[in-house]
């Protein structure tokens, strides 16, 4: 046998389980510290995804137990109140790598590869030789199933060691549905910024609808850590829908496979039925640019023709893909999540409108909290998230960090060497990327890969919250200075007036005009409070004219209209400037006079809205309010108009497609008279347009 033949005879197919067993660092199990966090992450991701798909408010419990007399051996116990897993599926879910239901679905989800929890079972078996215990209860069965299992890595399938039915009770209550896993692994427990507690705390911020419990028990059986993050809302995230791929994100191999598997008889029908954003007009334009016949059979296209089709897709403008495949956290819930976990004086959040990059819908959300108990002499804390999952490692190599570092934070009141890098100051910055296809730098999903479109979108969001911080700090500084001056005048002037009046034996003069002349300022005092009795948020603003001449202003305040808030008790009236911004005209405020602006916000919960921004139009400065930037206002109006136009384009595109489909169907019935065809076509078209 030749050397080449001997070498060839030694070649064998590698099982996927065996590959990951030898390359466990790909899955995030490269160090003992990271191993336990990775295991917790996979358990939590699965539980949250399952609860949200089943429309169940999540109750999660994570417990870590140190194994006595064994160095760096930990037991992980994870429980949830999700729908559970049927008995016949347990082996595949926990014992087979690359098995899952979300890999082919184009929608936002935490896990997609089908590696996560199976990787935990494999790592446990690899480092301790122990079996993983699983208990599952589904609502349609009266008992729970208990299974002890491992993995046959050569065959990539589960090995069951025991299985039995039990009644699942906890605290004398029968569990209706849920899942519990218990697994032992070699890992190291640590505290600090890269700990299980920090991971769960971050998870609670971007999943404010979840109750999360965490307990750590030492080797003596003593509870050292017992924490609980209570849900901030009872509303589940928006349910996401799967969408079809978009032509701008398709690759040659994928297009070849789709054409081969297609049942459509015409190329235009293939394009409309298999992709999102393709109207009948766009489908015909693609065929024209590719030099192909509209009626060409998809299965018979050759490689060169497929290449031409792909190039034509890159040149044609399509409708954007639907964004109901995304589930953003939304401004108010981010604010509530941050406020419940981090003590601060100021919180500002922003949810950008959905965008598309390479045919993949994505959405950016940011938050910034400032002051309070946050240290001022350290780098700001960065909270990075992708599809509601915290990113704990590889901060320096992450796109989200690059976007934060690219902003010159010095102009917003934070320290930053050279205007680049992570700034210093008493602040925490949050960035969340929601997408149907998050591109990570590695299989461990610890950092987001570079993408110029996403980077610029994050920058725009960060610049907006930075401006909010600058306005807040400027307003507070001016208000503090004006208040100090006002208090000083009110302490000294009355005393001088009384003393002078007694010496001259004359009445004490009215000092309001004198105080106004000395103050020479217009001041806006605004408060946002929660009314327990009416269960509404109350906003009260008072405009004081401490100048010697009449003043006239337009006062504007922001409010969470996009989040469903309803404005009530607005007796002063005013008008809507744009979505989320209301304006009141204050006519001729005389020296020493004041004007009140009061209104309420309904359809909100306590803590949803805690600070209202005040703006003004007018010649003289107003302390306590920001001068309205008309350019920014115009951008806000244009953005809201763009959202409406995008919606109309989608509707129009759907109607165009409906017309084309109905026309095609009506032409099939050649035996029917022209008059009956016309009547049938019009009736069907009316019904389908109405549905759209």
**Does the structure show a pLDDT above 80 at 194?**
yes
Fold of 247-315: Helicase, Ruva Protein; domain 3 (1.10.8)
How large is the average pLDDT for residues 521-529? Answer: 88
Confidence of residue 490 (pLDDT cuts 50, 70, 90): confident
Distance from C-alpha of 385 to C-alpha of 108, rounded to nearest angstrom: 13
Give the C-alpha separation, 457 to 449, whole Å.
Answer: 15
What are the structural domain ranges in the chain?
16-229, 247-315, 331-470, 510-628, 634-691
Segment (H or E) for 227:
strand 223-229
Q: What is the C-alpha separation between 348 and 465, in angstroms, rounded?
A: 6
**Among the ranges given (58-62, 97-101, 597-601, 685-689), the one the predictor scored with the smallest mean pLDDT:** 685-689
**Dihedrals phi, psi of 609, to nearest 5 degrees:** -135, 110
Q: pLDDT tens digits, residue range 411-431?
A: 888 998 887 889 998 999 999
Answer whether residue 476 shows pLDDT above 90.
Answer: no
The answer on pLDDT for 360 being more than 50 is yes
- Chain mean pLDDT for the chain: 82
Cβ-based neighbours of 678, under 8 Å, separated by 6 or more? none
Angle at 80 between CA 76 and CA 83, to 5 degrees: 135
DSSP codes joined into one string, 16-83: HHHHHHHTGGGGT-SSHHHHHHHHHHHHHHHHHHHHHHTT---EEEEEEEEPTTSTTEEEEEEEE-S-
Residue 683 has pLDDT above 80, yes or no: no
Q: Which fold has domain 510-628?
A: Immunoglobulin-like (2.60.40)
Q: Which pLDDT band, with edges at 50, 70 and 90, does 657 fall under?
A: very low
**Quick one: what percent of the chain has pLDDT higher than 90?**
29
Q: Name the phi and psi angles at 365, rounded to 5.
A: -130, 140
Q: Are 383 and 329 in contact (CB under 8 A)?
A: no
Q: Which pLDDT band, with edges at 50, 70 and 90, does 11 fall under? A: low
Is the pLDDT reported for residue 18 higher than 80?
no
- CATH architecture of the domain formed by 331-470: 2-Layer Sandwich (3.30)
Check: CATH 3.40.50.11810 for 16-229?
Answer: no
Model pTM greater than 0.85?
Answer: no
Lowest mean pLDDT among 28-42, 507-521, 593-607: 507-521
Q: How far apart are CA 144 and CA 137, in angstroms?
A: 4
The model's confidence at residue 172, banded by pLDDT at 50, 70 and 90, is confident
Residue predicted with more confidence, 463 or 347: 463
Condensed to tens digits (0 to 9), the pLDDT of residues 45-75 reads 889 989 998 999 999 999 999 999 888 899 9
pLDDT at 31 over 90: no
pLDDT band at 658, cuts 50/70/90? Answer: very low
Q: Does residue 622 carry a pLDDT above 90?
A: no
Helix axes 32-53 and 116-128, enclosed angle (nearest 10): 150
The pLDDT of 181-210, averaged and rounded, is 91
Please say whether the beta carbons of 535 and 563 come within 8 A.
no
Secondary structure (3-state) at 102: coil
Inter-residue contact 168 to 146 (CB < 8 Å): no
In this prediction, residue 98 carries a pLDDT of 62
Which tops the pLDDT comparison, 443 or 120? 120
Residue 190 has pLDDT above 70, yes or no: yes
């Amino acid at each position: 046998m030749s050397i080449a033949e001997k070498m060839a005879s030694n070649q064998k197919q590698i099982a996927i389980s065996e590959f990951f067993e030898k390359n466990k660092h790909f899955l995030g199990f490269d160090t003992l510290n990271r191993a336990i966090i990775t295991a917790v992450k996979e358990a939590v991701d699965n539980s949250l995804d399952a609860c949200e798909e089943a429309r169940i408010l999540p109750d999660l419990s994570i417990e870590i137990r140190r194994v006595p007399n064994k160095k760096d051996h930990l037991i992980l116990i994870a429980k949830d109140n999700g729908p559970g897993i049927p008995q016949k599926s347990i082996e595949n879910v926990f014992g087979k790598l690359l098995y899952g239901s979300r890999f082919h679905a184009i929608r936002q989800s935490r896990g997609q590869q089908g590696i996560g929890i199976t990787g935990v079972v494999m790592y446990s078996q690899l480092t301790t030789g122990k079996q993983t215990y699983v208990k599952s209860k589904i609502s349609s069965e009266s008992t729970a199933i208990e299974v002890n299992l491992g993995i046959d890595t050569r065959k990539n399938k589960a090995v069951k060691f025991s299985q039995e039915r039990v009644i699942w009770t906890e605290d004398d209550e029968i569990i209706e549905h849920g899942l519990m896993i218990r697994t032992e692994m070699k890992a190291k427990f640590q505290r600090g910024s890269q700990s299980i507690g920090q991971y769960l705390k971050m998870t609670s911020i971007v999943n404010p609808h979840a109750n999360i419990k965490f307990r750590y028990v030492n080797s003596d059986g003593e509870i050292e850590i017992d924490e609980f993050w209570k849900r901030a809302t009872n509303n589940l995230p928006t349910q996401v829908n799967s969408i079809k791929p978009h032509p701008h994100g398709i690759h040659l191999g994928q297009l070849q496979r789709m054409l081969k598997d297609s049942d459509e008889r015409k190329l235009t029908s293939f394009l409309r039925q298999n992709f999102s954003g393709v109207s009948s007009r766009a489908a015909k334009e693609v065929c024209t640019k590719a030099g192909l016949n509209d009626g060409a059979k998809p299965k018979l296209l050759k490689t060169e023709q497929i290449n031409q089709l792909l190039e034509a897709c890159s040149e044609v403008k399509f409708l954007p893909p639907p964004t109901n495949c995304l589930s953003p956290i939304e401004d108010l819930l981010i604010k509530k999540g941050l406020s419940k976990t981090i003590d601060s004086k100021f919180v500002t959040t922003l949810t950008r409108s959905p965008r598309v990059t390479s045919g993949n819908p994505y959405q950016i959300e940011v938050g910034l909290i400032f002051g309070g108990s946050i240290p001022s002499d350290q780098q700001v804390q960065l909270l990075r998230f992708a599809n509601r999952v915290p990113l704990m490692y590889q901060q320096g190599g992450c796109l989200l960090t690059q976007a934060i570092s690219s902003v010159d934070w010095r102009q917003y009141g934070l320290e930053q060497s050279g205007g680049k890098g992570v700034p210093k100051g008493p602040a925490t910055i949050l960035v969340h990327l929601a997408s149907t296809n998050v591109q990570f730098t590695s299989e461990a999903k610890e950092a987001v890969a570079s993408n110029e479109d996403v980077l610029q979108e994050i920058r725009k969001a960060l610049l907006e919250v930075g401006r909010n911080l600058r306005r807040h700090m400027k307003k507070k500084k001016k208000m503090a200075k004006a208040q100090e001056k006002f208090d000083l005048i009110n302490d000294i002037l009355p005393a001088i007036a009384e003393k002078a009046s007694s010496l001259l034996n004359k009445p004490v003069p009215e000092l309001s005009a004198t105080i106004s002349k000395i103050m020479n300022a217009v001041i806006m005092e605004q408060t946002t409070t929660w009314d327990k009795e009416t269960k509404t948020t109350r906003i009260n603003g008072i405009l004081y004219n401490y100048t010697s001449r009449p003043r006239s202003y337009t006062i504007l305040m922001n409010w969470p209209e996009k989040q469903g808030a309803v404005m009530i008790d607005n007796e002063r009236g005013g008008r809507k400037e744009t979505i989320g911004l209301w304006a009141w005209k204050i006519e001729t405020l005389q020296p020493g006079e004041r004007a009140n602006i009061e209104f309420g916000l309904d359809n909100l919960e306590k803590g949803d809205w805690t600070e209202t921004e005040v703006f003004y139009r007018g010649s003289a400065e107003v302390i306590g309010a920001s001068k309205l930037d008309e350019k920014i206002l115009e951008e806000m109006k244009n953005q809201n108009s763009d959202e409406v136009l995008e919606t109309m384009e989608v509707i129009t595109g759907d109607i165009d497609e409906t017309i084309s489909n109905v026309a095609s169907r009506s032409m099939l019935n050649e035996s029917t008279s022209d008059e009956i065809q016309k009547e049938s076509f019009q009736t069907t078209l009316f019904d389908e347009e109405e549905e759209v």
